[in-house]
Amino acid sequence: MTRRPVNSRGQLRARSIRSVERVARILGWCLLPTFVAGALSTLAWLGSRHTQPIAVTPVATTAAARPPMGWNDWYQDRCAVTESEVLKSARELVSTGLASDGYDTVVIDDCWMAATRSATGALLPDAKTFPDGIPYVANVVHSLGLKLGIYASAGTATCSGRPGSYGHYTEDARTFSSWGVDFVKLDSCHLPSSADSATLFNQFGTALSAANPGVVYSQELPVGAAPGSSTFTALVAASSAMSNMWRIAPDERATVAAGASITEHLEADLPLYSYASPGHWNDLDMLLAGNSIFSYSLSDQENQADVWAMESSPLIASGNLTSAASLMVLGNKKVIAIDQEGVQGKLVGTEGSIDVITKPGSVMLVNTSPVRADVRYKAPGELLNVWGNGRPARTTDGYLHRTLPGYGVLMFTVR
Ligand code: GLA
């Protein structure tokens, strides 16, 4: 593989986004009549409600009618991931009952590959850590009634420096399909500096669905752009046409307090309401329930699950699956049902630092400030706690009165 010069993720994206914008502008003014005439009928103009639309060819995606659920090793194992750890987690999904709750996809993140491709250019598993190979892992995972996911990068290398897929999209998509992979997570590290990132992600999606129309395509195209910016929104719009789920936030950092991080994810996601629909989900990143590196408190874990569920984000856990906390948090059926309803929550009101977010049958109140705040909320019906005893919340004259701690979250089903 010829390696082209690369730069860091942010620089690359800034440049690639500028070129995307330039192309979109030129196409928008010069070629739009041609498109309208139908000469390029498959080309979709995406994000037309927003500035700077990005043109991509929609990828026919049949998978992920509901937000995907499962487990990914990354935040717990990083590059120490092994075949036995992956299979242990797959078995735990089944033995804990989480698989029957819907957590049915086991994703192997970065570092599963050998340092170099084969003589014929194929990706190979790391022989030390995945001695039996990916088809074997896929077979075991499938025999447990689960699906297998795998990580790749659209650039010349993965974020951890393993071989990237740039220049090999069709070949890698076919390899994954022949191995029995059901879900592919595409990262954006080490893209060539001259590349148009949206075009590359679109090409990868096309190759994936040609190799296996039922595959789930998960990707990270929008991550480098600033949430709220027009480029970010345009990348999300393009992502929603070409993939099943796309990350809308950078990686979790242990230096950021849980409450601030969860609130940041929510604020970035609320304006993206219109891009989520069956088969297409804004991805808030992984759930940290049971993760020993991030050590979220139990209420942080519950708050994260609430926000992810109200937003109908994929629920991909990245922690120890047998800790009592993870079982309690991940296995909350009311929260799962809110997520799997498959409708992203909508911001319907803000009072002081409190956001009120609803979707049919549920409501969430979030204190977006680090300072505690009193809430007085006119309940639209009987409010049932999703945590604890599940009893109706006490209201006075139809109002719920509570004091929410800094970054506190309350979620209820409404009867
Ligand atoms: C990026 C992604 C993470 C993980 C790592 C692997 O940082 O955002 O989710 O896949 O790469 O190197």
Q: What is the pLDDT of residues 217-262, one digit of tens each?
A: 999 999 999 999 999 999 999 999 999 999 999 999 999 999 999 9
How many A from CA of 164 to the centre of ligand 1?
Answer: 13
Looking at the domain that runs over 69-247, which CATH code has it been given?
3.20.20.70
Give the model confidence (pLDDT) of 99-113 as tens digits.
999 999 999 999 999
Is 109 a pocket residue for ligand 1 (Cβ < 6 Å)? yes
d(CA 359, CA 320): 31
Is residue 396 exposed (0-12), middle (13-18) or buried (19+ Cβ within 10 Å)?
exposed
Range(s) within the chain of domains with CATH label 2.60.40.1180? 348-414
Residue 47 and residue 238 in contact, taking contact as beta carbons nearer than 8 Å: yes
Helix, strand, coil share (%) of the chain residues, nearest 5:
35, 20, 45
Ligand 1 site-directed mutation target among 8, 78, 151, 159, most atoms within 8 Å of CB: 159
CA distances (Å), origin 350, targets 282, 300, 366? 22, 22, 9
Token reading at 80: 């120490």
CATH fourth-level superfamily of 348-414 = Golgi alpha-mannosidase II (2.60.40.1180)
Q: Which residues are catalytic?
A: 187, 251
Query: Is the CB of 75 within 6 Å of ligand 1?
Result: no
Three-state secondary-structure class, residue 59: coil
Atom number in ligand 1 closest to CA 110: 6
Q: Is the separation of the CB atoms in 185 and 37 below 8 Å? A: no
CA separation, residue 8 to residues 12, 49, 188, 198, 331 (Å):
6, 31, 10, 17, 39
187 Cβ inside 6 Å of ligand 1: yes
How many whole angstroms from 331 Cα to the centroid of ligand 1?
25
| Percent of the chain residues past pLDDT 70, beyond the cut | 87
Q: Which two tokens stand for residue 130?
A: 């995945």
**pTM listed for this prediction:** 0.89
Determine the distance from the C-alpha atom of residue 1 to the mean position of all C-alpha atoms in its chain, rounded to a whole number. 29
Cα 159 to ligand 1 centre (Å): 6
pLDDT at 52: 64
pLDDT per residue as tens, the chain (415 positions) = 222 222 223 222 333 333 333 333 333 333 333 333 223 333 443 433 344 689 898 988 889 999 999 999 999 999 999 999 999 999 999 999 999 999 999 999 999 999 999 999 999 999 999 999 999 999 999 999 999 999 999 999 999 999 999 999 999 999 999 999 999 999 999 999 999 999 999 999 999 999 999 999 999 999 999 999 999 999 999 999 999 999 999 999 999 999 999 999 999 999 999 999 999 999 999 999 999 999 899 999 999 999 999 999 999 999 999 988 889 999 999 999 999 999 999 999 999 999 999 999 999 999 999 999 999 999 999 999 999 988 999 999 999 999 999 999 999 999 9
Q: Which residues of the chain form CATH 3.20.20.70?
A: 69-247
